[in-house]
Amino acid sequence: MSKVRVRFAPSPTGGLHLGGVRTVLYNYLFARHHGGEFILRIEDTDQNRYVEGAEQYIVDCLQWCGLIPDESPQKGGPYAPYRQSERKNLYHQYAKQLIDSGHAYYAFDTTEDLEKMRNDLKRADNTNPQYDHSTRMKMRNSLSLPASDVKDLLANNIPYVIRIKIPESTTLIFTDMIRGEISFDTNLVDDKVLLKADGMPTYHLAVVVDDYLMKISHAFRGEEWLPSAPVHILLWEYLGWKHHMPEWAHLPLILKPDGNGKLSKRDGDRLGFPVFAMNWTDPRTNETASGFREMGFMPQAFVNMLAMLGWNAGTEQELFSIEELIHKFSIERVHKGGAKFDFEKGKWFNHQYIQQTDDTTLTQLAKPYIEAEGINVNNDHLLKIVSLIKDRCHLLSDFWQQGHFFFATPHDFDINPIKEKWNDVKQQFFTSWIASLNDAKDWNYGIIEQNFNTQLEISGLKKGDVLLPLRIMLVGGKYGPGVFLISEIIGKEETILRVNNVLAKLSVL
């Protein structure tokens, strides 16, 4: 195999969908597995779709995931520039070459001309007439017009685009690394624009020219690009580079958890999970779409989850470090069919990574979620809490959900589960217990529990009668780690305060 060089070639148009990150990941794993290079190329030739900040956002996402390119607009490299808008002038010569060899032509049609053609030709059996072999001779282009007219139009700087001349009734075949042999009937392919009136190449021309110039050996991209493949195959051939065409792998879609079709941002909104790697704020609307990072995913877990969405090692193993993934990854084991996204499974991955992470590191990761609630917490204190509740946390943000009562007195107490069975004996038990706590010299969960047991014996109650009430007093609800540990950490005064708070509520019932 020649030197492996792969590229992720996003258009900077918005947030990075998890399918996009998976494409990055498979590129990265393949490159690392084969000791090759992974390139980031920004495909920003469509000025209408360009969104400010989207490129930096993509770079930041890759950074967060730890999938760092070897060559990129930021890093440079031997084939710079890596931003297509900066390569603008380079594409003309290839478009010209295609015209000279008769594989492309100038088209002078205005928007109105194109609309008219579509309206004139629209029929029940052809609802979307295309600019192709059947229509091109009815249009204003260098194939249909006399050569002298074309010369004049060009001399007068009349705006034009350059279109590829797709051959009629030809079958094009290529072998996809995942899907095997795929064939296309060229009669179904339109004469795509290669160079636009503004002088910018379209994606089709730019992707082929750059994959060639950047010596790309394998191109992995989403399945949605499959219909473009015949245009690209022809361009590789017409430009004389047929033997340099990368091997292609069209990656399966990530599907909605329910129903069919590609997982969209709307599905995420509807079902309550993110589809972007990180929060993305659209500068045009100021709307923020949520991201896995901010939701509390660890990048290692996110990456592991994505690896398994469309690939497996051929065993039951699901948890892989990035090194293991690099070692085991093979494109042959990528599935043909789409993978249904399962957010609960994603959380399971994150839970596993949280359990594997040492408590000191986890403390640093959990801290921002506590601070975001306006709480200042010291590291040693947080470390204790983190080790106590980590097994209950699926997301880093759960450290707040599962541990907020360590940092702030709860205001909402769900007393419903205990109020029915509340009585004077229990009221008396808690009153005496906190009085005894008040006198306690030392403060640790052993002593707290001992006091509790002593009062139990005096009251004649069973532990089961008062443990749940105590939990609700300290936490506000039916969750959290051991109650005596909670009491130790929040301290004597806070324990007494919280018990009193709920006693006051219960005694007025």
**Tokens describing residue 35:** 């000791």
Site membership for ligand GLU, residue 12 (CB under 6 A): no
Is residue 141 helix, strand or coil? strand
Task: Please state the closest distance from residue 387 (CB atom) to ligand GLU, in A.
Answer: 43
User: How many residues contact ligand GLU, by CB under 6 A?
Assistant: 8
What residues have CB less than 8 Å from 484, skipping those under 6 apart?
A: 445, 446, 448, 449, 452
Phi, psi (deg, nearest 5) at residue 40 = -105, 120
> d(Cα 429, Cα 349) in Å, to the nearest integer?
44
Directed axis angle between helix 424-439 and helix 445-459, to 10°? 140
What residues have CB less than 8 Å from 16, skipping those under 6 apart?
A: 10, 57, 58, 61, 276, 277, 278, 280
Which residues lie across from 196 on neighbouring strands? none
Site membership for ligand GLU, residue 36 (CB under 6 A): no
Task: Please state the closest distance from residue 11 (CB atom) to ligand GLU, in A.
Answer: 4
Task: Please state the closest distance from residue 20 (CB atom) to ligand GLU, in A.
Answer: 7
Task: Please state the closest distance from residue 310 (CB atom) to ligand GLU, in A.
Answer: 16
Measured from the CB atom, the residue of 153 and 234 that comes closer to ligand GLU is 234
Measured from the CB atom, the residue of 207 and 334 that comes closer to ligand GLU is 207
Contact 231, 131 (CB under 8 A): no
Binding piece for ligand GLU, criterion CB under 6 A, among 5-13, 320-328, 350-358, 393-401: 5-13
Choosing from 265, 345, 492, 505, the catalytic residue is 265
> d(Cα 325, Cα 24) in Å, to the nearest integer?
14
Task: Please state the closest distance from residue 30 (CB atom) to ligand GLU, in A.
Answer: 14
Which run of H or E residues covers position 218? Answer: strand 218-222
Residues within window 209-228 making contact with ligand GLU, judged by CB under 6 A: 221, 225
Q: Decide if 265 is catalytic.
A: yes
Binding piece for ligand GLU, criterion CB under 6 A, among 7-15, 327-335, 372-380, 495-503: 7-15
Site membership for ligand GLU, residue 9 (CB under 6 A): yes
Site membership for ligand GLU, residue 28 (CB under 6 A): no
**Closest C-alpha to 6, from 35, 33, 43, 36:** 36
Site map 41..70 versus ligand GLU, x via CB under 6 A: --x---------------------------
Catalytic residues: 265
Give the residues lining the site for ligand GLU (CB under 6 A).
9-11, 43, 203, 207, 221, 225
